[in-house]
């Protein structure tokens, strides 16, 4: 073995993990293992089953054991936001954190969900968001995390629809200054509030597909030029994807968003951007087995 190889083998292995409850199903360890193989970064990435009501204790235990960063999944994104000593602008806007970085200055909280969605739609699916009319279904944490990145990428219009219309209006009020600065037509309410005609992109940010339930929407919003994107993913098309396809739209799931948000977390931690497209192809193949 050469001295160069020996020195590489002797590098300390930094520890990362995803924390959630449940967490055994998470694909994040598989994804980050592929990123590490690609880039040569010396990391190990595991799972932490978070304790409801004791999230901060679990994170501190991980940090004390040498942990450098964590991804955060349900139901702890609001806990992570509260724990962070400093927030990135996108995490502050989202009001939720899915990525933690631990350093000498304390705990940095970030939210990579929105940028992951945008990169999947534009980079992997080839749909340009600049100038597009976008419909966002749902007004919960998942929706909140993607509003600012959508506004930032130059959409022409963004409408938020929720079964409880007042919750959609709350998001519109929260992001109204950003929408004005971006010169975006921005609205929210129930399905009856929608502009006429099909949208270019419809994003299902509800958890309805987990329960095989369709979100509140208007079938007239779907057309042959519509990308119907479900943030959820599974081995088979979701109920939302099947519904959209019956209406003539192009369906897509959220697997690419999962990989892209992970790539952004990896970049935050390591300063290296992995080839996310290659990992996405490999993950789809893995899930099809």
Q: Give the start-to-end residue ranges of the domains of the chain.
A: 3-111, 114-255
Region 3-111: CATH code: 3.40.50.10860
Known binding-site residue numbers for shikimate: 26-28, 73, 98, 113, 233, 261
Q: Do domains 3-111 and 114-255 have the same CATH topology?
A: yes
- In tens, the pLDDT along 91-116 reads 998 899 999 999 999 999 999 999 99
Known binding-site residue numbers for NADP(+): 138-142, 162-167, 231, 254
| Architecture of the domain made up of 114-255 | 3-Layer(aba) Sandwich (3.40)
Catalytic: 77? yes
Residue 69 bridge partners (DSSP): 16, 101
Question: Of residues 77, 86, 130, 289, which has the active-site annotation?
Answer: 77
pTM for the complete prediction?
0.91
* CA–CA separation, 26 and 47 (whole Å): 8
**Phi/psi-derived region of residue 288, left when phi > 0, alpha when psi is between -120 and 50, beta in every other case:** alpha
- In tens, the pLDDT along 234-276 reads 888 999 999 999 999 999 999 999 999 999 999 999 999 999 9
């Amino acid at each position: 073995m050469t001295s160069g190889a020996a020195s590489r083998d002797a590098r300390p292995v930094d520890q990362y993990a995803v924390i959630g409850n449940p967490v055994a199903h998470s694909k994040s360890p598989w994804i980050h293992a592929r990123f590490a193989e690609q880039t040569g970064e010396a990391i190990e990435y595991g799972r932490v089953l978070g304790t409801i009501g004791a999230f901060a204790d679990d994170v501190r235990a991980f940090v004390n054991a040498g942990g450098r960063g964590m991804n955060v999944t349900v139901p702890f994104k609001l806990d992570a936001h509260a724990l962070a000593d400093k927030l990135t602008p996108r995490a502050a806007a989202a009001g939720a954190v899915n990525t933690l970085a631990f350093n000498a200055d304390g705990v940095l909280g970030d939210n990579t969900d929105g940028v992951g969605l945008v990169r999947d739609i534009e980079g992997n699916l080839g749909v340009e968001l600049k100038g597009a009319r976008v419909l966002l279904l749902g007004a919960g944490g998942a929706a909140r995390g993607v509003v600012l990145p959508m506004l930032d990428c130059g959409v022409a219009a963004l409408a938020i629809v929720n079964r409880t219309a007042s919750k959609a209006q709350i998001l519109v009020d929260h992001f109204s200054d950003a929408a004005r600065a971006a010169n975006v037509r921005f609205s929210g309410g129930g399905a009856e509030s929608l502009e006429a005609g099909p949208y270019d992109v419809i994003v299902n940010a509800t958890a309805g597909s987990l329960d095989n339930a369709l979100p509140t929407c208007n079938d007239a919003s779907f057309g042959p030029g519509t990308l119907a994107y479900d943030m959820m993913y599974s081995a088979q098309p979701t109920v939302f994807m099947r519904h959209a396809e019956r209406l003539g739209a192009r369906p897509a799931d959220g697997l690419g968003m999962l990989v892209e948000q992970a790539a952004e977390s990896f970049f935050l931690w390591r300063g290296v951007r992995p080839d996310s497209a290659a990992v996405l192809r490999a993950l789809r193949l893995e899930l099809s087995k």
